[in-house]
């Protein structure tokens, strides 16, 4: 059956450019049927104080992931795709990609991880009366204006990473509304950029070097289900170096990883919510009513269908945990018992279950980059304890997993203050491949039930493939489509909070919050230039 789907060109391709992997996912007639996958590992780089990715590696990674998917399809089904019914592109949200009138990149890609936009974000938050986070595209653009950067007068359009890739593959300069909501605030109808705020911004920068009106710089917005162009011959050649892939596949609107996470967890209807755990970690709660106040911890973004969402975004997720797992894998290798990453996670997370409910007084700070919710301008990963703490492997690993969720838990307080009830959160990301551990600790951190579906580990690449299938099916109501075609009958494992875990995590979080001052002192005591010089 899958061979026929591939050979007849009925398969649907989803591509997501995540923080550590570019992943390609091919699905069949049944959206739950993943028939081939491919991936390419990459990492952001800190270059001259800016977190960035080289755009040349974007294409090397896309080509590598697609080639791996083709090889996987041939290995599994004896046939490789030459035509595809529909395609979707997703990527890390926010950040700053600015181009001139010749479509040349003006400055290196500034990712969501950068926290150098504080002055701009504060000024825009006051101007608009809504929270403008440091990582939003408009904050990056306005900071460049405020700083008098030379490239500003040459800016003719800005976009996100997903929008950039989509345009190169289709020729269409558009964004899905979820991704666009991290570029500039969206109007109350969830259909376009807020016109009044666009006018406010144009008035604010009237006497600066920024020449065009802001609306002229921004991509057009499309809702989920709309057709956003088709794969061009140039795009097909760019994606598939073998030349076998034919043009013509319809594209759904490009989306951000937050939107595809909502789709992958069936959390797009008002009253639903999800947590995505990766290099960053964020919670999304689809609002049933507007927020009463502006909260620095909460972004108001949108689902791919345009419903307002309260987002708690933390710049730092699982990267520090992954580094510790690598350390233990190296020890196992030295001991003559090498193990792969999945087995290492399984063993170490299982060990965490034997740790004390409060991690025995061990605290793990996972900040590799700056963390606005914790008021940290930079990151200094630290494990700290007092002499009376109980340093064991189990406590250390529990502290590391708690550390992944700690800042998220601090940010979620704003939702509680707004009286937003959380009946259940859906979780996805590779951390949840090891059943029952991270899910249980997240339930304790949120003090709410947490569900994980079988598809959780596939994440955003599968989510954007589902959005592409939705477009190919003619669109309609996204929530109904997901219920009817995707999640009906799907097995869902739900874990309710253990009272002892909740009490233990609360103790841990109180100490963690008090200890954040250690991080601030470390930023001053250990400047990045000194650290880079010592490691060179």
C-alpha 165/C-alpha 370 separation (Å) is 27
Same-domain check for residues 323 and 212: no
204 with 323, same domain: the answer is no
Per-residue pLDDT of the chain (536 residues; tens, 9 = 90+): 799 999 999 999 999 999 889 999 999 999 988 999 999 999 999 899 899 999 999 999 999 999 999 999 999 999 999 999 999 999 999 999 999 999 999 999 999 889 899 999 999 999 999 999 999 999 999 999 999 999 999 999 999 999 999 999 999 999 999 999 999 999 988 889 999 999 999 999 999 999 899 999 999 999 999 999 999 999 999 999 999 999 999 999 999 998 998 998 888 988 889 998 888 899 999 998 888 899 989 999 999 999 999 999 999 999 999 999 999 999 999 999 999 999 999 999 999 999 999 999 999 999 998 998 999 999 999 999 999 999 999 999 999 999 999 999 999 999 888 888 777 899 888 888 888 899 999 999 999 999 987 654 557 899 999 999 999 999 999 999 998 999 886 767 899 999 999 999 999 999 999 999 999 999 999 987 654 544 43
Q: Is residue 519 located within the same domain as residue 409?
A: yes
Residue 59 lies in a domain: no
CB of 344 within 8 A of CB of 329?
A: yes
Residue 119 lies in a domain: yes
Collect all residues with Cβ–Cβ distance below 8 Å to 140 and sequence separation of at least 6: 95, 96, 110, 114, 117, 120
Q: What whole-number distance in Å separates Cα of residue 209 and Cα of residue 207?
A: 7
Residues 209 and 337 in one domain: no
213 shares its domain with 324: no
Q: Are residues 204 and 328 in the same domain?
A: no
The total number of structural domains in the chain stands at 2
Tens-digit pLDDT profile for residues 16-54: 999 889 999 999 999 988 999 999 999 999 899 899 999
User: What Cα–Cα distance (Å) separates residue 310 from each residue in 102, 301, 433, 449?
Assistant: 37, 6, 26, 19
Q: Which two tokens stand for residue 494?
A: 């739900």
| Residue 262 phi, psi (nearest 5) | -65, -40
Residues 323, 198 share a domain: no
Q: Are residues 377 and 505 in the same domain?
A: yes
| 61 falls within a domain | no
Residue 447 lies in a domain: yes
Can you give the residue range of the structural domain that contains 380?
319-453+498-528
Q: For residue 348, is it within any domain? A: yes
Same domain? 510 vs 384: yes
Q: Quick check: is 33 in a domain? A: no
Cα dihedral across residues 229, 104, 256, 460: positive or negative: positive
403 and 522 part of one domain: yes
Per-residue pLDDT, 521? 95
CATH code of the domain in which 204 resides = 3.30.420.40
pTM, entire model: 0.84
DSSP, residue by residue, 482-494:
IIIIISTT--EEE
Assess if residue 466 is contained within a domain: no
The answer to whether residue 430 sits within a structural domain is yes
- List the one residue out of 479, 522, 33, 41 whose CA is nearest residue 263: 479
């Amino acid at each position: 059956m899958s061979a026929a789907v591939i050979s007849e060109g009925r398969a649907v391709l989803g591509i997501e450019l995540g923080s550590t992997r570019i992943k390609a996912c091919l699905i069949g007639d049944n959206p739950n049927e993943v028939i081939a996958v491919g991936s390419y590992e990459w990492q952001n780089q800190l270059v001259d104080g800016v977190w960035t990715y080289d755009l040349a590696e974007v294409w090397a990674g896309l080509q590598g992931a697609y080639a791996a998917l083709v090889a996987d399809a041939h290995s599994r089904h004896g046939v490789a795709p030459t035509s595809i019914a529909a395609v979707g592109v997703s990527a890390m949200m926010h950040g700053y990609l600015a181009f001139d009138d010749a479509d040349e990149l003006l400055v290196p890609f500034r990712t969501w991880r950068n926290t150098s936009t504080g002055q701009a974000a504060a000024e825009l938050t006051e101007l608009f009366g809504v929270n403008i986070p440091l990582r939003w595209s408009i904050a990056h653009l306005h900071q460049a204006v405020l700083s008098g950067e030379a490239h500003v007068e040459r800016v003719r359009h800005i976009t996100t990473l997903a929008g950039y890739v989509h345009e190169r593959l289709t020729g269409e300069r558009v964004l899905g509304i979820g991704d666009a909501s991290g570029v500039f605030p969206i109007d109350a109808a969830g259909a376009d950029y807020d016109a009044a705020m666009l006018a406010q911004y144009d008035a604010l920068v009237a006497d600066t070097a920024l020449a065009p009106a802001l609306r002229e710089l921004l991509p057009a917005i499309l809702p989920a289900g709309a057709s956003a162009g088709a794969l061009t011959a140039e795009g097909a050649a760019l994606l598939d170096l073998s030349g076998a892939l034919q043009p013509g596949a319809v594209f759904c609107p490009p989306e951000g990883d937050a939107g595809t996470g909502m789709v992958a967890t069936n959390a797009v209807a008002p009253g639903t919510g999800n947590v995505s755990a990766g290099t960053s970690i964020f919670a999304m709660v689809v609002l049933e009513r507007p927020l009463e106040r502006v909260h620095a911890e909460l972004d108001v973004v949108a689902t791919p269908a345009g419903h307002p969402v309260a987002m708690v975004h933390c710049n730092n997720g699982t990267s520090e945990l992954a580094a510790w797992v690598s350390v233990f894998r190296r020890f196992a290798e030295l001991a003559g018992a090498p193990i792969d990453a999945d087995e290492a996670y399984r063993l170490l997370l299982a060990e965490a279950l034997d740790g004390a409910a409060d991690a025995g007084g061990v605290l793990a700070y996972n900040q590799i980059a700056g963390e606005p919710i914790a008021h940290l301008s930079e990151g200094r990963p630290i494990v700290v304890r007092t002499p009376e703490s109980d340093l064991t492997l189990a406590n250390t690993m529990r502290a590391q997993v708690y550390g992944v969720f700690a800042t998220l838990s601090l940010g979620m307080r704003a939702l509680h203050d707004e009286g937003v009830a959380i009946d259940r959160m859906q979780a996805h990301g590779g951390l949840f491949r090891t059943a029952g551990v991270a899910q249980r600790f997240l339930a304790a951190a949120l003090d709410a039930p947490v569900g994980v579906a079988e598809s959780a580990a596939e994440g955003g690449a599968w989510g954007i493939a589902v959005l592409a299938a939705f477009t190919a099916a003619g669109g309609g109501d996204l929530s109904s489509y997901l219920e009817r075609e995707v999640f009906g009958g799907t097995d869902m494992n739900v874990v309710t909070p253990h009272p002892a875990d909740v009490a233990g995590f609360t103790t841990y979080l109180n100490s963690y919050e008090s200890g954040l001052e250690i991080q601030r002192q470390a930023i001053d005591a250990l400047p990045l230039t000194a650290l880079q010089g010592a490691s060179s």
